[in-house]
Chain A
Amino acid sequence: GQQVMQIPQYQHVQEGEDFTTYCNSSTTLSNIQWYKQRPGGHPVFLIQLVKSGEVKKQKRLTFQFGEAKKNSSLHITATQTTDVGTYFCAGTSGTYKYIFGTGTRLKVLA
């Protein structure tokens, strides 16, 4: 079945450093979503990417969808303590059945 992997599993950064998490699917995706989950909280939607090679920005966050629509990345510039949490990608191959990635847990050291 479809699998979605994320790397790294954990990342500790100093406040102000950049952070990137990568998402890789075993199958071609029709779209990919990104979510953030704060410790003890529930996932909160960040963005959806649909087109091959698409790049979207939200303030310090940059999201990319690969040309082959099998991988994606989230880059945070100049991390802040408010960025702490786990970042998940979730992909679908054309149905409304989303498979979540394994997540990247980000810790930001002040």
Chain B
Amino acid sequence: NAGVTQTPKFRILKIGQSMTLQCAQDMNHNYMYWYRQDPGMGLKLIYYSVGAGITDKGEVPNGYNVSRSTTEDFPLRLELAAPSQTSVYFCASSSRGSYNEQFFGPGTRLTVL
């Protein structure tokens, strides 16, 4: 199993550009999450999904969109990049049930200039 994979690993965007961060998991997990981590800070939940076709906002959803058309994939879309979106983005997944440890991907380091 590859676990949770994220692409790209690094990206530099100009202000106003758009991009999609890809996330995929091969563990058949129902729950998937997107977090951002600013330098030296904790993780903030952007969006999460409890299954295909179902998404919900986290703590900091403004400026982002998500979709969940399959169990495996959970892409994160930035429409109009701003310098405040410079961060490391982590995708995570977990199974349904009472014991649901989150498995994290390696992260995407995004810089907006």
Contact = CB atoms under 8 A, between A and B. Distances in A.
Contacts of B105: 42
Interface residues of B, number: 27
B63 to A, nearest CB: 18
Interface in A70-86: none
Contacts of A100: 35, 42-45
A23 to B, nearest CB: 11
Given A33-B101, A44-B104, A48-B101, A97 B43 contact: no
B103 A45 contact: yes
B42 A102 contact: yes
A96 B32 CA distance: 10
Interface of A: 1, 6, 31, 33, 35, 42-45, 48, 50, 88, 90, 96-103, 105
Nearest to B31: A96
B56 to A, nearest CB: 7
A97 B48 contact: yes
A45 B45 CA distance: 16
A96 B96 CA distance: 9
Going nearest first, the 4 A-B pairs with the smallest beta carbon separation are: A45-B101, A42-B104, A100-B43, A102-B42
A43 B102 CA distance: 9
B32 to A, nearest CB: 10
Given A1-B59, A42-B107, A101 B101 contact: no
A48 B99 contact: yes
B75 interface: no
Contacts of A99: 45, 59
B74 interface: no
Interface in B59-102: 59, 90, 92, 94, 98-102
A63 B42 CA distance: 20
A103 B42 contact: yes
Nearest to B109: A40
Nearest to A3: B59
Nearest to B43: A100
B36 to A, nearest CB: 11
A76 B12 CA distance: 39
